[in-house]
Chains A and B, each alone.
Chain A
């Protein structure tokens, strides 16, 4: 049973007394600590934190939200007044009141399972690791190298007028490496990874083996400098899980967000090509393609005890053997679409943000064959390991990706590199070309999925395995 928070309880009680149909108060405290090494030298040691309270009311059929980092009584009374004023202003435009799908009141606590708290790792130990990795990023043409490790802690307490009272403490650990190689007469080559992050302790950083990974990034960047241009023709592409994690995020995660269906995000993030009448009918991909939203995956960046509507963590299918079947929803969007709450996806970045529909962990389900068997099925193709540039339309239907490094596949084996590779496609056409997913499923995490106004950067998780796509038209730019 969470310890009572008098300020939150008082806010919610006050909201109910002033006539709100629903009220919630959310206290959030965030801590962040990062060390960055650039070209072998410590670039920065950074610590940051913030805390505050967000207060949300559903009043006269409309939402009002106010938030403050000043938690004295006068500031909190002002927050209540402002939330009601904003609800009343919004209500003057509503034809129908906002409704919430029912959820039983929740009580409890959630904590990240971890072995070693990353905040307790001595800075000297972190710097030693980063310097060792930096030594391996060095190469004959590497002009710029950077490595970093970071620790994140979020403490959150949600109290609602429906009786929900839940506390969560989420700890995340992350690392990033990047190297830029430059050679006269060649285009600069960058190899980087900013998505090495997990809801876990320092043990995750140790598992990453940054030192060995740095050598691989250096080798990739050096090799890409004078690699031959790929041939511009339709070819077989095999994607590494890291690359597919982003493709799943952009082309499945976003278009299944229910608030896009309701046009809440049309002016910024856009809408979707996956409409309610398409559920159970729209051919999204081949029969090898199934995707799942799961807020319970151990270590996932989209894993939690409850979302910011107080909905407990759940799991639901979005794509089932190539067919679109489900949405990511909040209580409001589930009610508006008249669907049951199959997944709670209402999430706010911080205390100052209104909860909106966000991804949790949205993953490509693993296949059954081994990666080497998948590769053996390629006579002539490319392995794309990590994305570089990416661009998508407002319906998530038309996309363009380029790659940091491309490996040549010949007769089922990797041999050398090719450069200049990018591809554009329509989403169902792309996933329709998938003819195999391997069983080497792994989890990736993103720190900063951008959505909402004011902007909210959300942590989300994505699992994927190597997968093979046939006859993909590629573009080649020298």
Chain B
């Protein structure tokens, strides 16, 4: 894939030029009420050219790698650069640098076909039907290829795969959720996903409403990933720091959460979904964000590194979806060895949260998140689950939540609601946790 890019760059008449390609083959099987209702595959290419004249930048994108189309694309970017004005803070393109080998790729997963996806779904729906339940969800396989070349001589290519299986099991009284995520289809276990979702759906009956207030809580991995996403977006990038919106501003070296909380960004961890370089061609680095509750660092792309007179940490975001300033997309939160029953057992009176829906942040400076729970919200009393709860609205600062960390379980690959549905780009390795206090501000009807 690099050859056509490098060929096109040889002909560019500009001070600097860069071509970045993202190709995706996405095969997605969606099911509801135990039937597949959408079954789609799409091959798509995005190629973006950035061309610089002086310090004026022009950007153009298209979806063809044919030489004539690439020439046209570069010409469009050149025209855009001529129409643009110099950026005094222009950091220049990346220089060649050593790269790690891509780890998140599995050739067998890349070859998965429609029948294998349907077979996985049928294992879930068959089990659900036996129990008189309805199953819905998604089986998704993605093969992506990223490549970058620029006129400084930087060149990088990495394939990656993603396999995702999720199940929402519904009875007439409630719902339960489970999912598996990995870079290999072998990491998906349809029977286990079905069993976990069915167990929760079966428990979700005779719901009661929880009064607003502060409660002890057990957050499962998906719920933790939701909170981490808001920390990343509101406070862990050079852009938020520059704007004064980050909770990290003027806090480096000081506690921002309790001492049990540590968080870093590490795209090089072999367990996560990532490639070893960012869309600017900078190798990704492991960056400590919070260590033992103390603020340590934020991530940078080349532009935000320039603002702070430092080096890019390899955290440029997908340019199709965001502007410059850095993006922490591979979060790892320190875990522990507490088992699920220990987290529940340590809770005298509290709430178990499986996951959230459509969260947002009414107070970004405090990384405050609000959102309703779904598909498995339970009351814990005396160390055991006693009642199903109507979905609750949770509203609380992530910093306050993680100040009350008491127990942590083992890490698992998980994505927040936004990222698992294509609206965000954060992947977490995070544990289930037990916290001393979570603020519930309302309840949905029974």
Contact = CB atoms under 8 A, between A and B. Distances in A.
A68 B32 CA distance: 26
Given A89-B117, A354-B40, A477-B363, A454 B33 contact: no
A471 interface: no
A214 to B, nearest CB: 18
Contacts of A42: 56, 84-85, 87
A398 B38 contact: no
A389 B370 contact: yes
B136 A85 contact: no
Contacts of A127: 83, 85
B251 to A, nearest CB: 15
Contact of A90 (B85, B118, B168, B357): B118
B59 A398 contact: no
Contact of B41 (A44, A65, A88, A124): A65
Given A266-B32, A266-B170, A426-B445, A400 B118 contact: no
B391 A393 contact: yes
A93 B122 contact: yes
Q: Which of A63, A67, A262, A394 has most chain B Cβ within 10 Å?
A: A394
Interface string A109-130: 0000000000000011001000
B158 to A, nearest CB: 21
Contacts, number: 251
A24 to B, nearest CB: 14
Nearest to A391: B360
A352 B42 contact: yes
B154 to A, nearest CB: 21
Contacts of B342: none
A188 interface: yes
A49 B62 CA distance: 5
Interface string A64-92: 11111110000000000010011111101
Given A48-B61, A263-B32, A454-B422, A393 B117 contact: no
B409 interface: no
A216 interface: no
A47 B28 CA distance: 29
Nearest to A71: B64
Interface stretch (B43-51, B256-264, B328-336): B43-51
B88 A453 contact: no
A264 B38 contact: yes
Interface in A298-356: 352-354, 356
A267 B38 contact: no
B76 A47 contact: yes
Contact of B80 (A46, A62, A68, A455): A46
A268 B170 contact: no
B32 A52 contact: no
A180 interface: yes
A182 B243 contact: yes
Interface of A: 35-36, 41-52, 54, 62-70, 82, 85-90, 92-95, 98, 123-124, 127, 143-144, 180, 182, 187-188, 262-264, 266-268, 270, 352-354, 356, 388-395, 397-398, 400, 402, 422, 424, 426, 450, 453-455, 475, 477
Interface of B: 26, 28-46, 48, 56-64, 76-77, 79-81, 83-88, 113-115, 117-118, 121-122, 125, 134, 136-138, 140, 166-168, 170, 242-245, 323, 357-365, 368, 370-372, 374, 391, 393, 395, 421-423, 441-442, 444-445
16 contacts: A42-B56, A54-B42, A62-B36, A62-B39, A70-B43, A89-B117, A98-B37, A143-B243, A270-B374, A389-B362, A393-B444, A394-B357, A397-B444, A426-B444, A454-B28, A454-B140
